[in-house]
Amino acid sequence: MILLTTFLTVTLYSQNARIKIDIERKIGQVDNNLYGNFVEHLGRCVYDGIYEPGSPLSDEQGFRKDVLEAVKGLKVSHIRYPGGNFVSNYHWLDGVGPKDERIPRMELAWARLEPNTFGTNEFIQFCRKVGTEPYLSVNMGTGTIEEAQRWVEYCNVKEGSYYAELRKKHGFQNPYNIKYWSLGNEMDGFWQMGHLSAEDYSKKAREAAKLMKLTSPDIKLVAAGSSNYRPNADPDEWNTTILHELRDVVDYIALHIYVGNPDNNYYNFLSTPLVCEQRTKLVRGMINEEMSKANRGTREPIYIAWDEYNVWYRARTDESMKGTRALEEPYNLEDALVIAGFLNVFVRNADIVKMANMAQLVNVIAPIWAEKQGIYKQTIYYPLSLFANNVKGSALDVFVDCETYNTEEFLIGLGESKTRQTNVPYLDVSATCNNGEVVLCVVNRNKDKAITTDILSQTGEFTGTFKVFEVNGPDVKAMNNFDNETVKTVVKPDINARGSKITYSFPAHSFTMIKGQIK
């Protein structure tokens, strides 16, 4: 009996791993809004990040041209602005009108002086330059519902009313027609200026929504879901309450997640995107319950917006969260693999996750690092860019059979609760199909071993040439800097595929994208 068990174990593990794709087994449409990003008035994200008037690297309006180019490479669907914690004490009128009349304010969230020389109109100009949609967040902390309404009026009403005319007086004749608006930021967090209970937040958000939609009926609204996963918090209670109270007025529930590797345990860290997937499933259930109770008629269901996600644990001390160089987090290869893992989670849950925003775009926990002399792309830039440029169409329900591992109990990130993950597959996979073009995204979490894998098509045959892109580096701690981009996308030799099987060896600690036709 012992002999037989040993034999079976060896047989099982000596065979190739398997990934089965069936282009008919569709989960849902991948929303282009999975490739969103975030610009907050924090550290050097806005000032000396995207905006640096007077720099030889900036254009005539003060936007850094090198940053604009790098942002374009990320094919960003939309950008959330102006915060973040910043927004909960931000008054948008401070940031519009003649620059010499704008007043500086104490910025209390991140301990800076806010000059207000960059505001709504500069942000919209930036969005137009990079070809992305603006997504604004209103102040539900120290702001009023009237202030929120007036911002919508300033942005979206064509003419006649005071704030529409004010926009025109400021030099912007046409309304911006901003579609996405979020009702505050992280209102469940005790750190939030103007933090509210779930009940008080729901009441305020519902009334703000009413005024905002009366002003501009086609806007889409995002409710501030859970962000507080500290051990003593109750994020599920927050989510169920606000979903119940706001189910008739909002289109998305925003969730935030930051993960890290504070214990320097690679395998624990690589499993953290699965926490995002577990939370997605939990909130999906809550949404389903509310939708079945509510009579939403033909309206679409509430969707999940992963409104802020990233790796963030190094620049998280009291000191590194303040001032002009706040939250400058250098990223390595293992961080890039975690980002690929997050994106795989969003694609695998494409029927309910309809928006995601990497937090943030430049300098502040960001894929782009800008200094006076130029920029470089951090490791996390590359998986994000590969997904945004290639992963579209229908998400497929992929079958994966490979070795797995269990983690210890560990901290998801600083300030977060603990988790333990079991049966974590070494291969983390998503797949999409767009008019016969299949894109397979695979993270090999194994730090030391390549995994030889049979990729099997169950409907149709692999046809023609498959392109292969890989993000990898000499070791999992490899980083980029101004002199060297050690971790980046490398184009590997094509696979000439025919039939229903491709065998491919995914290198240790890598992210691989394989792209080609199934006919």
Q: Which residues of the shown chain bind ligand AHR in the complex (CB under 6 A)? A: 40, 83-85, 185-186, 308, 359-360
Q: Please choose, from the candidates 161, 133, 138, 141, the residue with its C-alpha nearest in 3D space to the C-alpha of residue 149.
A: 138
Could you tell me the smallest distance in angstroms from the CB atom of residue 186 to ligand AHR? Answer: 5
Query: Please, which residue, 37 or 480, has the CB nearer to ligand AHR?
Result: 37
Query: Please, which residue, 308 or 334, has the CB nearer to ligand AHR?
Result: 308
Query: Please, which residue, 27 or 198, has the CB nearer to ligand AHR?
Result: 198
Residue 186 falls in the annotated catalytic set: yes
CA 395 – CA 351 distance, rounded (Å): 8
Could you tell me the smallest distance in angstroms from the CB atom of residue 251 to ligand AHR? Answer: 20
CA 33 – CA 341 distance, rounded (Å): 17
Could you tell me the smallest distance in angstroms from the CB atom of residue 303 to ligand AHR? Answer: 19
Handedness of CA 240, 242, 244, 248 (dihedral sign): negative
| C-beta nearest to ligand AHR: residue | 84
DSSP 3-state percent helix, strand, coil across the chain (nearest 5): 30, 30, 40
Could you tell me the smallest distance in angstroms from the CB atom of residue 309 to ligand AHR? Answer: 10
CA 426 – CA 429 distance, rounded (Å): 10
Query: Please, which residue, 358 or 427, has the CB nearer to ligand AHR?
Result: 358
Return the SS3 of 84: coil
Return the SS3 of 275: helix
- Tokens 């730090």, located at residue: 447
Element (H, E) at 310: strand 303-311
Return the SS3 of 515: strand
- Tokens 């003419």, located at residue: 159
CA 157 – CA 163 distance, rounded (Å): 8
Query: Please, which residue, 23 or 257, has the CB nearer to ligand AHR?
Result: 257
| Beta strand 133-137 pairing with 78-81 | parallel
Contacts of 259 (CB under 8 A, 6+ apart): 269, 272, 273, 275, 276, 311, 312, 313, 338, 412, 413, 416
Residue 24 falls in the annotated catalytic set: no
Query: Please, which residue, 353 or 359, has the CB nearer to ligand AHR?
Result: 359
* Phi-psi category of residue 460: left, alpha or beta, with phi > 0 → left and psi -120 to 50 → alpha: left
Could you tell me the smallest distance in angstroms from the CB atom of residue 248 to ligand AHR? Answer: 26
Query: Please, which residue, 83 or 367, has the CB nearer to ligand AHR?
Result: 83
Query: Please, which residue, 255 or 398, has the CB nearer to ligand AHR?
Result: 255
**Catalytic residue of the set 308, 329, 334, 416:** 308
* Assigned token pair, 225: 């879901």
Does residue 260 contact residue 315 with C-beta atoms inside 8 Å? no
**Catalytic residue of the set 52, 107, 186, 329:** 186
Could you tell me the smallest distance in angstroms from the CB atom of residue 307 to ligand AHR? Answer: 8
Which value, in Å, is the radius of gyration of the alpha carbons in the chain? Answer: 23
Could you tell me the smallest distance in angstroms from the CB atom of residue 114 to ligand AHR? Answer: 14
Cα torsion 35, 39, 45, 49 to 10°: value is 70
Return the SS3 of 437: strand
Does residue 383 contact residue 485 with C-beta atoms inside 8 Å? no
Residues noted as catalytic: 186, 308
